[in-house]
Structure 1
Amino acid sequence: MPFVNIKKQYLAIGMLIFVILFFFNSKPAFQCQISTDNQVVSYLPIIYGITPTYTRLAQKADLTRLSQTLMLVKNFHWIVVEDAETKTDLVKNFLKETGLKYTHLNVKTHSSKHSTASGVEQRNLALDWLRDHLAKIEDKRGVVYFMDDDNTYALKVFDEMRKINKVGTWPVGIVGGMRVEMPVVTDGKITGFNAVWKPFRPFPIDMAGFAINATLFLEKPDAKFSRKVQSGFQESEILKYFTTKDELEPLAENCTKVYVWHTRTQKPSIINPKKLKHPPVISDAHIEV
């Protein structure tokens, strides 16, 4: 074959390679995007998060921080229960703006000489709603998680609770006077609890440290919280209906990882304008905080 023809063939092949490379390099790269919307994924059980809340200056700030996390959780239904005679506009409008799937309830706390625990009536009302809701729907799969509005939650804790068969548990950070309060696991079984605050409790774990299979609340219609138990025993009061210490399912890598923290918002210190020598000219009473 003449040298000129060989040269033309190589030139043609080189031009073809150049065109192919130019074509692929000029195309935009394919990007796999994960939506942050609170989408419904059919194969994931629903997480019913029950959150009691009450009116205070930091209420909206706490709810906002929590909602930002919940927006990233698939198949989540937020049950927010106000400690109030009537639903407040602040919470009502806030929930509408979140875009989350939610149920808004309210009930006023009844004072009791037996217990100073907060959230009893609110959580019980939420459980009443839950049972009624589950009875009406075909797919009853789900998990119930009791969430304080000022706690801090990592997304991994929601992934963990979807593994639950009956009742799952995990460590909680910054609670009970400890860096971490946690179940002690030996050979995959819970053999004790690392807790110093009222360690004699039947279940010495924090409310944020467990979740319950939702269908169990249909099987145990009388399961609820009680004003007749002392402070700190509400967790044990609800868990006694569904499990024993031996049956608890250790999650979060055999209870060695912390994915939730019992944080508390410090009460804001606000100066009374009437006590100022030079009070502000413009009032902020019309601003929702």
Structure 2
Amino acid sequence: MKAHRIIERVQREQRAQFGVKNPRTLIAVTPTYVRTFQTLHLTGVMHSLMLVPYDLVWIVVEAGGTSNETASLIAKSGLRTIHVGYKERMPSSWADRHRLEAKMRLHALKIVREEKLDGIVMFADDSNMHSMELFDEIQNVKWVGALSVGILAHSNNADESSVSAAEKEADNPPIPVQGPACNSSNKLVGWHTFNSLPYVEKSANYIDDWGTVLPRKFEWAGFVVNSRLLWKDYDEKPEWMKDLALVDGVDDMESPLVLMKDTSVVEPLGRCGRQVMLWWLRVEARSDSKFPPGWVIDPPLEITVPSKRTPWPDAPPELPSIDKSISVQEQMVAVKRPPKTRSSRSKRSSRSKRKHEARTVETQVSAKQTEQN
């Protein structure tokens, strides 16, 4: 533990000297709902946020209202959390789920406006994976920033028989990326989008479908926003930023770009989009799958495959009866005690006595010889 504290101290000093001088608070927005993989996904993003070296506020919006499962899970983070519920339940189709998640994120942005939270708003979906460099990079944004998102979509179920290898390589790169596109001067000139054509016929429409889950044209996770743009009364708000009240009735907000009148002012981050620091993934279990609440197994599961050898015997040893124990005690009393043996002390005294007598005899003999002479 001492070595860990030394490393932590060194890293803190390095950030103070070479890192962000005046870091702003990060405001992470996460839509979620109770399901089989919620603990898996939410634990991953929670541990990523716990490693952030800056002040952080975690807004968790839960579909169908707040639940004890989600509350107990996010309470383990020790972060400053705002856990709110959303009245609508999460639908089973992916298209409707994307739309509802956009509404839940908009609900979180309203909380940022009402509470006047100051910092950088990022959209941390519970199933996404984040690099720690991401949290340092978004500190560089002034108003609205865009990041490249790696799309982790497998092609096992896509119809590849009618598409040649050259066409697949040209139309769909090995690692699909969604994000800003820059010119040689590092200026935003367009966007990279995910090519979904090879997956359209075999894409998943419902959570229970066996197919590829496709991302939207622009994922919310690829954008960060200065929270002051969301405040109701902010004198320095740019003219190209819309008010949240104007988009409140929009049924489908595909990305934060809907909040902007001019998207050319977006600031590309991550070496102008060339560095991927965020990965998008959607993996879910069947909607009717069974799992214990909070993944706590109580009562214990039944034994389905018994072990061949167990550490305990098949039958407990037989304890002696009362009659047998009494007879054994009587036999022990009847046994005579063995005779006492001479102790080592008495042996030593007898040996010293014999030595003393021998010396006395020798003295007397020598005295007689002297008298005779």
Q: 1:286 to 1:64 in 2, by over 3 A?
A: farther
Q: Which of 60, 77, 93 does residue 57 from structure 2 map onto?
A: 77
* Preserved contact between residue 63 and residue 86 of structure 2 (Cα < 8 Å): yes
Q: Distance in 2 between matches of 1:88 and 1:42?
A: 39
The DSSP-based 3-state class of the residue aligned with 2:259 is coil
Q: 1:265 to 1:214 in 2, by over 3 A?
A: same
Q: 1:59 to 1:241 in 2, by over 3 A?
A: same
Q: Does the alignment pair 1:179 with 2:184?
A: no
Q: Which of 90, 101, 105 does residue 123 from structure 1 map onto?
A: 105
Q: Which of 207, 218, 237 does residue 205 from structure 1 map onto?
A: 218
Q: Deviations over 1:125-165 (max 9, x none)?
A: 2122211211xxxxx64111122110001111111111111
Question: What is the number of equivalent residue pairs in this alignment?
Answer: 232
Ranges in structure 2 where 5+ consecutive residues have no aligned partner:
13-19, 154-171, 198-215, 233-242, 301-373
Task: Pick which of 146-155 and 121-130 moved more.
Answer: 121-130
Is the strand fraction higher in 1 or 2? 1
Q: Which of 122, 138, 156 does residue 161 from structure 1 map onto?
A: 138
How high is the sequence identity, in percent, across the aligned residues? 25
2:282 counterpart letter in structure 1: R
Q: 1:88 to 1:270 in 2, by over 3 A?
A: closer
The DSSP-based 3-state class of the residue aligned with 2:245 is coil
Q: Deviations over 1:201-226 (max 9, x none)?
A: xx953211110110000153426565
Q: Does the alignment pair 1:150 with 2:110?
A: no
Q: Distance in 1 between matches of 2:251 and 2:181?
A: 29
* Preserved contact between residue 145 and residue 268 of structure 2 (Cα < 8 Å): yes
> 4+ residue runs of structure 1 moved beyond 3 angstroms?
34-37, 175-178, 196-199, 223-227, 268-273, 283-287
Q: Deviations over 1:58-84 (max 9, x none)?
A: 101111111111011121110001102
1:97 counterpart letter in structure 2: K
The DSSP-based 3-state class of the residue aligned with 2:8 is coil
Q: Which has the larger radius of gyration?
A: 2
2:136 counterpart letter in structure 1: D
1:206 counterpart letter in structure 2: E
Q: Deviations over 1:186-207 (max 9, x none)?
A: 11211111214589xxx95321
The DSSP-based 3-state class of the residue aligned with 1:150 is coil
Q: 1:122 to 1:165 in 2, by over 3 A?
A: same
Q: Does the alignment pair 1:45 with 2:24?
A: yes
1:15 corresponds to? none
Q: 1:151 to 1:145 in 2, by over 3 A?
A: same
Is the helix fraction higher in 1 or 2? 2
The DSSP-based 3-state class of the residue aligned with 1:44 is coil
Q: Distance in 1 between matches of 2:47 and 2:76?
A: 12
Q: 1:259 to 1:272 in 2, by over 3 A?
A: closer
* Preserved contact between residue 45 and residue 124 of structure 2 (Cα < 8 Å): no
* Preserved contact between residue 226 and residue 234 of structure 1 (Cα < 8 Å): no
After superposition, the CA RMSD in angstroms is 3.6
2:147 corresponds to? 170
1:193 counterpart letter in structure 2: W
Ranges in structure 1 where 5+ consecutive residues have no aligned partner:
1-27, 135-139, 274-282
Q: Does the alignment pair 1:257 with 2:237?
A: no
Q: Which of 88, 110, 133 does residue 115 from structure 2 map onto?
A: 133
Q: Distance in 2 between matches of 1:216 and 1:180?
A: 28
